[in-house]
Amino acid sequence: MDTTKKNNPVYSTTDTSKVNVSEEEWKKILSSDVFYIARQKGTERPWTSKFENFKEVGTYYCAACGNALFKSDTKFDSGCGWPSFYEPISKGSIIYTPDNTHGMERTEVQCGRCKAHLGHVFDDGPPPTGLRYCINGVILDFAKAKDAEKNYKEKPQQ
């Protein structure tokens, strides 16, 4: 995960400006598995993500650009094999696009900052939204609540 960020100049959990990077550039910046999901709209194999049964409290970020996507308290056990959430962290954090590939009518969800492919949203989720954001774990970065807090504090007073 950290090797991805080292060569990633656009990764930031605080900068919300839109990211515009060419596919060629993305290929250099991202690890091959993240590139495959984010830019080629790939799908990881079900039950392979470490986040599938992950219960830590914190925030999930886009692994391509660092944009905050989901809070851990909106994560639920969907049993579908991919990390699932019922609500994004904010309205602008995600972009919705109709996806009619593979003979299905689905709604693709993309990162609102860098347009990385994240997964799909379905309407069979739990209350209060009734939505199920079915997300590839490869495209998620996680920061524990305490670590995230640290990131937002400028410099500790000494």
**Residues designated as active site:** 134
Site string for Zn ion, 104-123 (x = CB under 5 A): -------x-xx-x-------
Question: Residue from 30, 34, 65, 121 that binds Zn ion (CB under 5 A)?
Answer: 65
* Interface with Zn ion, residue 68, by CB under 5 A: no
Query: Quick check: 64 binds Zn ion (CB under 5 A)?
Result: yes
C-beta separation of 38 from 139 below 8 A: yes
Cα(78)–Cα(69) distance, rounded to whole angstroms? 18
Site membership for Zn ion, residue 29 (CB under 5 A): no
126 prior amide bond cis, ω within 30: no
- With respect to Zn ion, which residue has the nearer C-beta, 113 or 132? 113
The reply on whether position 10 binds Zn ion by CB under 5 A is no
Q: Facing residues of 148 across strands?
A: none
Confirm or reject binding of residue 67 to Zn ion (CB under 5 A): yes
What is the CA 115 to chain-centroid distance, rounded? 10
* CA angle 31–135–42, rounded 5-degree value: 50
Q: Measured from the CB atom, is 80 or 95 closer to Zn ion?
A: 95
Q: Which is nearer to Zn ion, 30 or 116 (CB)?
A: 116
Say if residue 4 is exposed, middle or buried (CB neighbours under 10 Å; 0-12, 13-18, 19+): middle
* Minimum distance, C-beta of residue 108 to Zn ion, in the bound complex (Å): 14
Residues that bind Zn ion (CB under 5 A): 62, 64-65, 67, 111, 113-114, 116
